Structure 1
């Protein structure tokens, strides 16, 4: 009888622990989402300088790209490898155009069914973009 009572108590504690950890709150007692943050969020910020070969984007969330020549290439990783990944990308160079490509998948403007292999980012036209992988391709918002 003692073993059964102990087992029931253990199961109750485990179930309470599992349901209690299904949502994480930072600076909130009652999280309403899987991750609920009441406060500011910081993300990794990096600057990538262009080079002779394609400069790979593999780290960071907010990425300042700095082409050193016209149409210098900056390459997103494969959309298939990183479903759900997001990048905020800004061309910080006032003189040179940056070419954004992908190691896998096309790059689609939001709301369009026509993708391309690259997009161009320059002063006054698509200087900043947000790209999101859907597991097959990238969608960009400018």
Structure 2
């Protein structure tokens, strides 16, 4: 027979053991990763319009969504990513959907680094033929971008 201490120990051990190795499966009975999805994945899409102030005005904040369609209304309208320190590991897919106007992507803190580079910049410009779509990833200090 088990005494009360042994039962409590087994219950506590069972809870910690299960939470330490938890895996969630969607449409799969045996997940092989922390999150294992067998099927399609949809992410939140957000459309943002520039404020028409160009380089001299305030930036339109990017604070929601995963796939962001931006539409500047004046040349170099600013769109600002959040502080990368606050969102380590966060990924955004950003596309300038305006065919003729350049958008400026800025950040509240840190720099933008192109993949495989050690040279950062405070902003990047998105326009037809060059960086029309970028993927940005927070490393907890800066943003890395891939086009």
2:74 paired residue number: 69
- 2:7 partner SS: helix
**Higher mean Cα deviation, 49-58 or 107-116?**
49-58
Cα distance, 1:112–1:20 mapped onto 2, change above 3 Å: closer
Aligned-pair distance for 1:4? 4.5
- Cα deviations by residue, 1:5-54 (Å, 9 ceiling, x for unpaired): 97179538835971696100000011000000000000000100001321
1:43 paired residue number: 43
Unaligned runs of 5+ in 1: none
**Higher mean Cα deviation, 4-13 or 127-136?**
4-13
Give the number of aligned pairs: 142
Aligned-pair distance for 1:112? 0.1
Which runs of at least 4 in structure 1 moved beyond 2 Å after TM superposition? 1-6, 8-17
Which residues of 2 match residues 111-126 of structure 1 at below 5 A?
111-126=116-131
Q: TM-score under structure 1 normalisation? A: 0.91
**Distance (whole Å) between structure 2 residues aligned to residue 88 and residue 138 of structure 1:** 12
Which residues of 2 match residues 57-96 of structure 1 at below 5 A?
57-96=62-101
Aligned-pair distance for 1:3? 3.1
Unaligned runs of 5+ in 2: none
